[in-house]
A and B are shown apart, each in its own frame.
Chain A
Amino acid sequence: MDGNFGQDQNQYQQDNNGQGMNQYQQNANWQNNGSYQQAPNQNPNGYYNGYPNGGYPNQQMQGNNYNNYAANGYNGPVVVSNAIPQKNGGLAVGSLVCGIISILGFWSLITFILAIVGVVLGIVNNAQDNPNKGMAIAGVILNIIGFLLTIIFIAIITAL
C-alpha cells in the first residue's frame, strides 16, 4: 500500500462498471498512510457485515491497487482495511495496569514513577474522549492509592 497512492482517480471511475464515484466519495476515505476512516453509516467495528453478492462497503480507493486489478480484468476494488478501531481505550488499560502494579509493588520505589505515569494516562484518556472512561477513572484512583502506599512505605522505612 505504501507508495501506491496519488494515482489518477479517473481510471477508477471509468473502470468501475457504472458505479458512481459520488457514492464512494460520500461514505469513506482512504488516507495516505493506509488507515481507514469509519463512515457514519458503516458498521462501527468495521468487521464483516454480510455484504450479499460480494458488494462492498462504499469506499473510495486511492492509488493504483484497483487499477492493477482492472488491467487484469478484475471488476471491483480490493479494499484492505483495519478491522480494529484506532481509538480502543488503550490509555485506560495502561492506566489501570499501572495502578494495579503500583499497588502490588508499593514496596518498590519504581512504582512511585509508575503511579504518576498511570494518573497521566488516565487523565489523557478521558480528556481525549476515548472509550473505557470508567476504567481510566479506576486506574487514576488505584494509582493515587499506590502513590500514597509508596509514600507511607518510604516514611516507615526512614523512621525505622
Chain B
Amino acid sequence: MKGSEWTISDSNGMAHKLGIRGTNITVDSNTYKVKSSNWLINVIDYSVDFPGANCHIVAIGNKARLAVNGVYNDDGTPYEPVAGIPAWIWVLVALSILGGWFFGGLLCAAIGVAFSTMYVSAALNKNNKKVFISFAIFVVIALAFLALNVFVLAPATNM
C-alpha cells in the first residue's frame, strides 16, 4: 500500500509528522501497529490527539486521508466517523465480495472489493444514491460473470 504523510502543528507551535503505510501509523518517530476494523476491506479510523489538534487518520481501501479538528485537510469537507456508517453498508460490502466470489469467482470478488471501497466512501459522504447505483452496477457485473461461468465456461470444460 502506498503510504501517506502529513505535517501538522499543534497549539504550542510544534510540528508533528503523521503518516500511514499499510497498517502502520507513524506519529513523529513512533510507529503504531493498527488493524482494519473490517475483515474484507481495509477500514481504519484512528484518532491522534495533540494539544489543539484532534487528528483522525482515515483509510478506506488504499486511500488515506487526514482530518484535523473535524475537517479533512485535503478538501475541507467535514469529518464523518467511520463508526457512523450504517450496518447495511457493511452488508453490501460483504455481499459484493463474498457473493461476488460465490457467484462470479475470484475476479468478480476483486471487482467487489473495488466497489466496496466506493460504497464506504460514498456512505461517509452521506451519498446513498451513489451507493445504490454502485451496487446495482456491481450486481449487473456479477450476473454477467455468473452467466459467463454457467453458459460459456462450464459447457466448455465438460466437452
B49-A56 in contact (CB<8A): yes
Q: How far is the CB of B43 from chain A (nearest CB, A)?
A: 7
Q: Decide if the interface of chain B is mainly helix, strand, loop or mixed.
A: mixed
Most A-side CB within 10 Å, residue of B12, B28, B32, B87 = B87
A97-B99 in contact (CB<8A): yes
A134 and chain B: residue at smallest CB distance: B87
CA distance A56 to B52 in the complex (A): 9
A2-B14 in contact (CB<8A): no
The number of chain A residues touching the other chain, given as a range, is 35 or more
**Interface residue total, chain B, C-beta cutoff 8 A:** 45
A78-B50 in contact (CB<8A): yes
Residue of A53, A78, A135 touching B49 (CB-CB under 8 A) = A78
B83-A135 in contact (CB<8A): no
Q: Mark A1-14, 1 if CB is under 8 A from B, else 0.
A: 11010000000000
B69 and chain A: residue at smallest CB distance: A48
B30-A89 in contact (CB<8A): no
CA distance A125 to B98 in the complex (A): 20
Q: How far is the CB of A60 from chain B (nearest CB, A)?
A: 14
B91-A96 in contact (CB<8A): yes
Residue of A48, A69, A101 touching B81 (CB-CB under 8 A) = A48
Interface segment, A18-26, A79-87, A150-158?
A79-87
Q: Can you report 24 residue pairs joining A to B where beta carbons are below 8 Å apart?
A: A1-B32, A48-B70, A53-B11, A53-B51, A54-B10, A54-B52, A54-B53, A56-B49, A79-B49, A80-B27, A80-B47, A82-B47, A84-B43, A84-B82, A84-B83, A88-B37, A90-B38, A90-B39, A97-B99, A100-B95, A100-B99, A101-B95, A101-B102, A135-B87
Q: Which 8 A-B pairs have the closest CB atoms?
A: A54-B52, A54-B51, A47-B81, A97-B94, A84-B37, A79-B49, A83-B45, A1-B32
A68-B30, A90-B39 given. 13 additional CB < 8 A pairs?
Answer: A4-B30, A48-B69, A54-B51, A74-B14, A79-B47, A79-B49, A82-B37, A83-B45, A83-B47, A83-B82, A84-B83, A104-B99, A104-B103
